[in-house]
Structure 1
Amino acid sequence: MGSEQAAVTAVRRRRGGWWPAAIALVAAAGGVLAFLARVGWGLDRTDEGQYLLLLADPTMSRATVFLFGYVLHPLFALVGGDVLALRVVGMLVGLLTAGALGWAATRALGLLGADAWAVRGVAATAGLLPVVSFPLTPSYNTLAFWGTCLWASGLVLATWPGPGRAHEDAHDGPRDAESAPGPRRRLGAIARDTTLGPALVGLGGVVAASGKVTTGAALAALTLVAVVVRAVTSRRQVLPFVGWVAGGAVVGLVALMALVGHGPAWIVDFYREGARNVALLQGHDDLVRWDPFPWIGFLAAPALAVVVAALVSWRLLRRGAPTRRRGRAIAAVTALAVLVEVVAFATGLAPTRAVPMVGACWWIPLLAIPVLLTTRRTPGSGTDHSVTTTTTSTTPMSADDEPAPTTSASAVASTSASTEAHASRRPGQSRAVEAVTLLALTLAPLAYVVGTNGNYAIAQARACLFWFVAVLLLTGVRHGTGRREGERRLVRRVVTAASAGLVLVASLSGLGHAYRYPPVTSAWSDPAATEVAVVSPEGARLRVTKADAETSRLLAEVDREHHLAGVPILDVTGASPGYVRQLGGRPVGSSWLLGAYPGSLDAALDAVRGDDPTLVDRAWVLDAPASPRRIEGLLPALGRSVDRDYETVATFRHTLGYEVRLLRPVTGS
């Protein structure tokens, strides 16, 4: 009876860890609330305007390299063009895809109970970070992120050695009650080992490529490395692995062609034409570069508070065997750090208006250093104490100081044969599989951001989810005999709690910044300066500034008076696709004729001349002489003159601050 009670207690300890779960849930709730506070506020009329144009009608533009409009158009149609609903759906998909990666990590590590939910909560919340200080409407970036999450989930399920498998560490001993094969665990093992993992690798790569082809290419390269290593370590398993990866990719390609409505030849031509236009623009071809590091967020007080708490926690871990009292002390330190960061944001000590605040997430990959120092084998360490046994030490000890059950000599003797069998079946090359998986997850943020013209360092920090999973898996790598499993579990909980705090730092920083729009905090400070307005032809409503609301009403009146639905509109401001969308018009040449690039005029002419030649003569025009992005010379190059061929219908103020004129062609011009 006593041995059975000891076994139950051991399992409960492995399922324990309420405090990292509580901290993770606080961070998750904070991140979700921060997103919800922004989801109904404002509308960027540049990038976000282009996203909405392509989501409403992906066929409007061939002079791009974006297929995301075709993929996400069903979502747009499902919500009836409601921008707010579209943003909420994007949030839910981000939570689900990132949560799937968290689930894959917990399955690979054999986590249950509070520990598992803590990991999944942090992972899901990190899935919202790509839209921190960025447009909230789903776009090519978010689709690429979702695809990368699916790809990483499949890679972890397919390649990471799970608990109790033959190539686990020789000194791990037999499976305990947590990792014993039940119905759920058998289903997960079958899915991981045969179909689901490799299929997700292929499917996720295609989804990511449909968002950004550069991301798809980078993930394909990482997949190829994983295939090569798998071929070296296990030739018998590589063919099924490659087959299911290819199968997942085929399913993704078939679905993509169904959404696009064309075959592979059309898709190749689409990318070729778009790449030619991008090359003319001369602004997105520098794929390999080193951008300034976001030191502001990296060294901000909230981030440092979390890091100090993590270091103190590791110091407590290295002082001796893990106990309940030590776990409570670590919980108190971490909770204090989260409180410090919230107070720092509330009192203005943290610069929430700075985009680089997301740089706090660069601390997450650095957590690998203390993880390795804490979990590695120490000189003179003897028998591994990670084996769960049914015999406990009889040394008197208070309840608060009760350590994890120790291993008895009889238990060690009874499992020695199993240990030797494990050792004989674990080839040295299996370390290479672990190393490649960790390397792929570490490079996944770079694969996600490659090709963007934004700051690479900041964009990678927004994708810190993959770093978190990599560090978490690192706690499951056995280094020789290792330390006690109880200490390893506490290390994992510290990683989870610290990552939760850093994700919360980045989430809260988004409240003080909006992409090319006043931050939501300005609406809180002066609610009278805001108003709910219709911002799309479908009648979508958002809370915007009063000036923006007046512009929206004006453009809605012009649309009703002149019936502009489907009317071609040529945007020479270089920054107004959102107003083309508001008017219900059809963009000429491209969803966004980008200004302020060295080749803006050449790219715009290429796009316009590649469109229907009859559109220019009957197109309305958006012009802004004061716009820094104005495409000078576009109208003269097309044989048109503002003074001779157009008349002003309306003038309004752009959200970026300058005056825009809406011009219509003069009859007979």
Structure 2
Amino acid sequence: MAADEQNYSAQSAQKSPMENALVALCAAGTVLIISWLIRYSAYGIDFTDESFYLVWIANPFLYDVSVYLFGFVYHPLYSLLGGDIAALRQANILITFGLAWILTYIFLVSLVPDLKVNRITLLTLSAGFATSAFILFDSWLPTPSYNSLALQSLLISTIGLILADKSEHRASILGWVLIGVGGWLTFMAKPSSALALAVGVFIYLLLARKLSIRMLALAVSCSLALLLISALLIDGSILLFLKRIQLGVEFIGYLGGGHSASQILRIDEFQLGEKLKTTILLISGALLLALWSMCTKNKKWSFIGLLISITLFLITASLTLGQMHRAAGFGQFQGLLIFAVVYAATAAALAHGRLQALKTVSARQWSIAALFLVMPHIYAFGTNGNYWQAGSSAAIFWLLAGLTLLGPLIRERASWLLALPLAVAAQAVTTTLLQTGLEQPYRQPQPLRFNVSNLDIGPQRSALTLSEDYSAYIASAMAAAKNAGFDPNMPMIDLSGQSPGILYSLGAKSIGQAWIIGGYPGSLNFAEASLSRTSCEKIGVAWILFEPDGPRSISPELMSRLGADFPGAYKQVGMWQTAEGAGGYKTRRTQELYRPVKPQETMANCQMLRQKSQK
């Protein structure tokens, strides 16, 4: 028996020339993709969602009501990097990749433990598959956010689940601690996802026969301890922390945006366009042919797999090196393209071993595969968008689930060779989806490669490369504010409903909320509720950004509800035109900047209204 194991290990350590070539392709693809994303990390900015992330991360302690707590998690990183937006994005990219790499590595080791001696191949293969985590950025919102923290948290949690066991050895204890840390971070990202994760983890532990009350208590204690520390650091009190979240849920309900409990508990559907269906079939078919050629005993056919892999690598290389610029145009469910690799892996395993292959997959492997399949929905749970569309940002979990059945086939052949074309294909799929984001960045007017205007924005004067229109828009706002005497850290109320990016560029304190979002049925009530918790002193001295007849503008009635006479108690001191495409709207609009001229009167009226409401 020992001799067989030694022969098996020796065989696994020997790599064929084809395997060496595929390892080189996979390694090159990983380097190209990461370098590509790092290079573009200083390009572009979205004035709405992404700017909201920046405002929230830059000064999360300014707000006492919130459901999403990611700003507190990322704020130390923001401070460490000096508010450099490009560096912040790069850190987010590398953190996501690093966690995905670790998860993929330990997962592959768990599938075929005997092959872990082949470190270089396994590390390269794991890195290749890990690049699929970058699908998170397929609309080009690379700034840290609740979405990125949710994915990173789930990666940490699943690393812990694989390591965890009933026994109390070092790796198992680390695994249970990571489960607790992952649960805490998921709560800080999206409480709804944390709830879904708790259910998923418990079911997994039961099915995998890993449940240990003692060790589960360790994970729960770790998570609760971190939450307690967070509550004390953020609000100084557990009750105030709970009040923050309670009011956050209540305020989101005012918007009427589809976040109620009855609305998030649903089963969504998806529809694949003909182009996407055809592409999935073509990639799956090509991969099946590649895997078949590598399994055949006829060496004349074996190089077909290498040729197909080279073709897929050339797609990655052409896109990352700027030789191709077209967006794929697969539609809103483009992230489901990753199923081309999943289908190929599953079909290859079943075709080779038929149903016998299923018998060699352990209960733990089935359990983690099942958890991986639902993990994208855990990630998306609570969003008001389609769960399949939102969940595809965590498509790496679908990919890993599809690799489960390859375990018996790889074990039989004592080689990772068959997994390498799948990794190269996953890289090509990821690059194709990322290309869509770079060519059609979220709420930006043009492909990022056309951006040529350099501008320093924000309180830390962070350098970005923007479109000429976006650069002119921001520069005009900054110049008007400076000429009017506006200084960084002065409070401002955004009545445009869609310009947290302008407030961030000016270095303004966005009081009430990091983004007083307009365009929803209850936006006015949301804004009033948020600002009702802001001191009357701040409201009295706050400047106003107003967008007359804007598509998402907050009604000036808000100011009268706060005790301010707008525009009577204010003086217009600046005006500029928005850029085409800003906020996702093609038409240019006028924005106006107002300075308070009767701050004491506004403050007194505000205090009087609040006293009346308390009676």
Shared topology, TM-score over 0.5? yes
User: Contact 1:375/1:488 (CA < 8 Å) preserved in 2?
Assistant: no
Equivalent residue for 1:351? 328
Tell me the alpha carbon deviations over residues 256-296 of structure 1, each in whole angstroms, 9 at most, x when there is no partner. Answer: 34652534333221110100001111104132252544537
1:365 aligns to 2:342 (yes or no):
yes
Partner AA of 1:493 in structure 2? L
User: Contact 1:82/1:540 (CA < 8 Å) preserved in 2?
Assistant: yes
Which of the residues 383, 402, 405 maps onto 1:471?
402
TM-superposed CA distance for 1:87, in Å, is: 1.0
SS of 1:611's equivalent? coil
Which of the residues 263, 284, 288 maps onto 1:307?
284
Partner AA of 2:143 in structure 1? T
Equivalent residue for 2:437? 510
1:205 aligns to 2:207 (yes or no):
no
1:579 aligns to 2:556 (yes or no):
no
TM-superposed CA distance for 1:375, in Å, is: 4.7
Equivalent residue for 1:47? 49
TM-superposed CA distance for 1:508, in Å, is: 2.6
Q: Relative to structure 1, is the Cα distance of residues 70 and 259 closer, same or farther in structure 2, using a 3 angstrom cutoff?
A: farther
Which of the residues 125, 132, 135 maps onto 2:141?
135
TM-superposed CA distance for 1:146, in Å, is: 0.6
Equivalent residue for 1:333? 308
Partner AA of 2:306 in structure 1? A
1:279 aligns to 2:266 (yes or no):
no
Q: How many residues align?
A: 577
1:497 aligns to 2:424 (yes or no):
yes
Partner AA of 2:558 in structure 1? L
Unaligned runs of 5+ residues in structure 2 are 583-587, 603-615
SS of 2:164's equivalent? helix
Q: Relative to structure 1, is the Cα distance of residues 586 and 453 closer, same or farther in structure 2, using a 3 angstrom cutoff?
A: same
Q: Distance in 2 between matches of 1:647 and 1:3?
A: 86
Higher relative contact order (CA 8 A, sep 6+): 1
Q: Relative to structure 1, is the Cα distance of residues 350 and 518 closer, same or farther in structure 2, using a 3 angstrom cutoff?
A: closer
Equivalent residue for 1:86? 88
CA root-mean-square deviation: 3.4
Equivalent residue for 1:13? 14
Q: Relative to structure 1, is the Cα distance of residues 250 and 666 closer, same or farther in structure 2, using a 3 angstrom cutoff?
A: closer
1:654 aligns to 2:578 (yes or no):
yes
Equivalent residue for 2:530? 607
Q: Distance in 1 between matches of 2:235 and 2:566?
A: 39
Q: Distance in 1 between matches of 2:148 and 2:26?
A: 23
Which of the residues 363, 371, 384 maps onto 1:440?
371
TM-superposed CA distance for 1:79, in Å, is: 0.9
Q: Relative to structure 1, is the Cα distance of residues 618 and 510 closer, same or farther in structure 2, using a 3 angstrom cutoff?
A: same
Deviates more, 1:616-625 or 1:25-34: 25-34
SS of 1:566's equivalent? coil
TM-superposed CA distance for 1:514, in Å, is: 1.1
Equivalent residue for 2:199? 221
SS of 1:648's equivalent? strand
SS of 1:650's equivalent? strand
Q: Distance in 1 between matches of 2:486 and 2:569?
A: 20
Tell me the alpha carbon deviations over residues 423-458 of structure 1, each in whole angstroms, 9 at most, x when there is no partner. Answer: xxxxx9994433221111111111111122344323
Tell me the alpha carbon deviations over residues 496-546 of structure 1, each in whole angstroms, 9 at most, x when there is no partner. Answer: 3332332222233322121211344451xxx6xx31111112111111122
SS of 2:43's equivalent? coil
- Report 1:249-268 matches (<5 A): 249-250=223-224, 252-254=226-228, 256-257=230-231, 259-260=233-234, 262-268=236-242
- The percentage of counterpart residues that share the same residue type is 22
Tell me the alpha carbon deviations over residues 33-52 of structure 1, each in whole angstroms, 9 at most, x when there is no partner. Answer: 33224211122121122111
Tell me the alpha carbon deviations over residues 93-138 of structure 1, each in whole angstroms, 9 at most, x when there is no partner. Answer: 1111111212221331333334312332124322322122142210
Q: Relative to structure 1, is the Cα distance of residues 343 and 588 closer, same or farther in structure 2, using a 3 angstrom cutoff?
A: closer
SS of 2:513's equivalent? coil
- Report 1:285-304 matches (<5 A): 285=259, 286-287=263-264, 288-290=266-268, 292-293=270-271, 295=273, 298-299=276-277, 301=279
Partner AA of 1:314 in structure 2? L
Equivalent residue for 1:67? 69
User: Contact 1:294/1:457 (CA < 8 Å) preserved in 2?
Assistant: no
Which of the residues 122, 133, 136 maps onto 2:128?
122
Partner AA of 1:593 in structure 2? I
TM-superposed CA distance for 1:254, in Å, is: 5.0
TM-superposed CA distance for 1:630, in Å, is: 1.0
Equivalent residue for 2:559? 635
Q: Distance in 1 between matches of 2:254 and 2:82?
A: 36
Q: Relative to structure 1, is the Cα distance of residues 308 and 487 closer, same or farther in structure 2, using a 3 angstrom cutoff?
A: farther
Equivalent residue for 2:153? 147
TM-superposed CA distance for 1:7, in Å, is: 6.8
Q: Distance in 2 between matches of 1:266 and 1:643?
A: 35
Q: Relative to structure 1, is the Cα distance of residues 439 and 14 closer, same or farther in structure 2, using a 3 angstrom cutoff?
A: farther
Equivalent residue for 1:597? 520
Equivalent residue for 1:416? none
1:452 aligns to 2:375 (yes or no):
no
Equivalent residue for 1:95? 97
Q: Distance in 1 between matches of 2:547 and 2:410?
A: 67
Q: Relative to structure 1, is the Cα distance of residues 299 and 338 closer, same or farther in structure 2, using a 3 angstrom cutoff?
A: farther
Partner AA of 2:396 in structure 1? L
Q: Relative to structure 1, is the Cα distance of residues 533 and 209 closer, same or farther in structure 2, using a 3 angstrom cutoff?
A: same
Q: Relative to structure 1, is the Cα distance of residues 258 and 635 closer, same or farther in structure 2, using a 3 angstrom cutoff?
A: closer
User: Contact 2:376/2:394 (CA < 8 Å) preserved in 1?
Assistant: yes
Q: Distance in 2 between matches of 1:495 and 1:547?
A: 42
User: Contact 1:46/1:577 (CA < 8 Å) preserved in 2?
Assistant: yes
TM-superposed CA distance for 1:612, in Å, is: 1.5
SS of 2:290's equivalent? helix
Q: Relative to structure 1, is the Cα distance of residues 190 and 126 closer, same or farther in structure 2, using a 3 angstrom cutoff?
A: farther
Partner AA of 1:266 in structure 2? L
User: Contact 1:375/1:483 (CA < 8 Å) preserved in 2?
Assistant: no
Q: Distance in 2 between matches of 1:466 and 1:42?
A: 29
Partner AA of 1:442 in structure 2? L
Q: Relative to structure 1, is the Cα distance of residues 638 and 368 closer, same or farther in structure 2, using a 3 angstrom cutoff?
A: same
Greater percentage in helix = 2
Deviates more, 1:133-142 or 1:562-571: 562-571
User: Contact 2:410/2:416 (CA < 8 Å) preserved in 1?
Assistant: no
User: Contact 1:353/1:512 (CA < 8 Å) preserved in 2?
Assistant: no
- Report 1:342-421 matches (<5 A): 346=323, 350-351=327-328, 356-377=333-354
Partner AA of 2:573 in structure 1? V
TM-superposed CA distance for 1:570, in Å, is: 1.1
User: Contact 1:352/1:512 (CA < 8 Å) preserved in 2?
Assistant: no
Larger radius of gyration: 1
SS of 1:509's equivalent? helix
Q: Distance in 2 between matches of 1:558 and 1:217?
A: 46
Q: Relative to structure 1, is the Cα distance of residues 241 and 469 closer, same or farther in structure 2, using a 3 angstrom cutoff?
A: farther
TM-superposed CA distance for 1:641, in Å, is: 4.7
